[in-house]
């Protein structure tokens, strides 16, 4: 397998936003899947330490698609500076990696 795959961590203000953006990415073939879960966050914003309940997603993508994934998230996300962090998948079962690659292979439009 020569194609590199990654996970992308994204945080959202609520579950609805997490699901809408995740669904869009999967429907567009930019992500094979998205695991969505509730989290608590503590962060510094505009000079103050804040706490918030948020949702996060862990997307499975082909690494080459990260720029398109990040652009789509930025276009759809309500945060000024959304968390969009890519992590290389160092090892996994070959079947799972093949599934990610197959699920994110988009059909080319004829000229």
User: Which of these, 45, 49, 52, 39, lies nearest to 10 by C-alpha position?
Assistant: 39
| pTM for the model | 0.91
Range of the domain at 86: 5-103
- Based on the structure, what is the number of domains in the chain? 1
Per-residue pLDDT tens digits for 13-43 = 999 999 999 999 999 999 999 999 999 999 9
Provide the CATH number for the domain around residue 69.
Answer: 3.30.70.120
Stretches where the chain sits below pLDDT 50 are: 108-111
**What is the pLDDT, as a whole number, of residue 105?**
83
- CB half-sphere exposure, 91, CA atoms < 13 A: 0
Residue 79: C-alpha distances to residues 13, 74, 99 (Å) = 8, 8, 31
Residue 109 within a domain = no
């Amino acid at each position: 397998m020569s194609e590199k795959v990654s996970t992308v961590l994204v945080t959202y203000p609520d579950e609805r936003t997490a699901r809408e953006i995740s669904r869009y990415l999967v429907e567009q073939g930019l992500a094979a899947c998205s695991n969505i879960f509730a989290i608590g966050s503590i962060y510094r914003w505009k000079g103050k330490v804040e706490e918030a309940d948020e949702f996060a997603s862990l997307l499975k993508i082909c690494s080459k698609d990260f720029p398109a994934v990040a652009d789509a998230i930025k276009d759809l996300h309500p945060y000024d500076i959304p968390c969009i962090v890519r992590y290389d998948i160092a090892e996994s079962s070959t079947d799972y990696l093949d599934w990610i690659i197959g699920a994110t292979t988009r059909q080319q439009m004829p000229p």
